Amino acid sequence: MRILLAGLAGAIAMFVWTAVAHMATPLAFIGFSKMANEPAALHTMNSENVGARPGLYIFPWVDPKDPKMMDKYAAAAKVNPTGLLLYRPVGQELGSDMAPMMIKEFLKQFVQALIAAWIVSMIAAGFAARAGIVTAIGLSAGIATNVSYWNWYGFPLDYTMAQIAIEVVSGLVAGLAIAAVLPRKTA
């Protein structure tokens, strides 16, 4: 029961921090840029029915099953822009109903904090060490996908670092909450 309560406390701390990070700091928008000539690009996306369905698109597209995929992509990249496009058609905008997304985010953070609380419950260490362990878990979570996205897909470095910072602080605040709720385990 203590692990469950510690996980809940950690999740609440993470949820509050990430809300602050996204609404009261510039961290949420670091690395994002305005598209040059956005009205023309939006017009093209609307009129050409780019991606009839919402999805994540990579361009230029080369069939990944093609044995010459890498060569074809390299040739196409020499004469075309490259990138990723997260696309939603008109009427399927991001964040139109925040409640389900907030619930999913909290549940994700609860699972993360519950795993961290379970790990910390098995460790005979003081308060600072237990909080530090959860912070390290936050660092691991932060670098797990963000560094790969920077490396493989060219996500901006400042975006990558901001997202890692958000996750590290999430780990820290969750760690403080978890360490406060879980008693110190003795060896």
Alpha-helical runs (H) found in the chain: 2-23, 38-47, 69-79, 98-121, 127-153, 157-181
Looking at the structure, do residues 67 and 126 belong to the same domain, yes or no?
no
Looking at the structure, do residues 108 and 150 belong to the same domain, yes or no?
yes
Looking at the structure, do residues 41 and 67 belong to the same domain, yes or no?
no
pLDDT value at residue 49:
66
- Whether 130 is in a domain gets the answer yes
pLDDT tens-digit profile of 4-30? 999 999 999 999 999 999 999 999 999
Looking at the structure, do residues 117 and 168 belong to the same domain, yes or no?
yes
Looking at the structure, do residues 35 and 108 belong to the same domain, yes or no?
yes
pLDDT tens-digit profile of 106-145? 999 999 999 999 999 999 899 999 999 999 999 999 999 9
Whether residue 47 has pLDDT greater than 80:
no
Per the structure, the count of domains in the chain is 2
Burial class (CB in 10 A: 0-12, 13-18, 19+), 174: buried
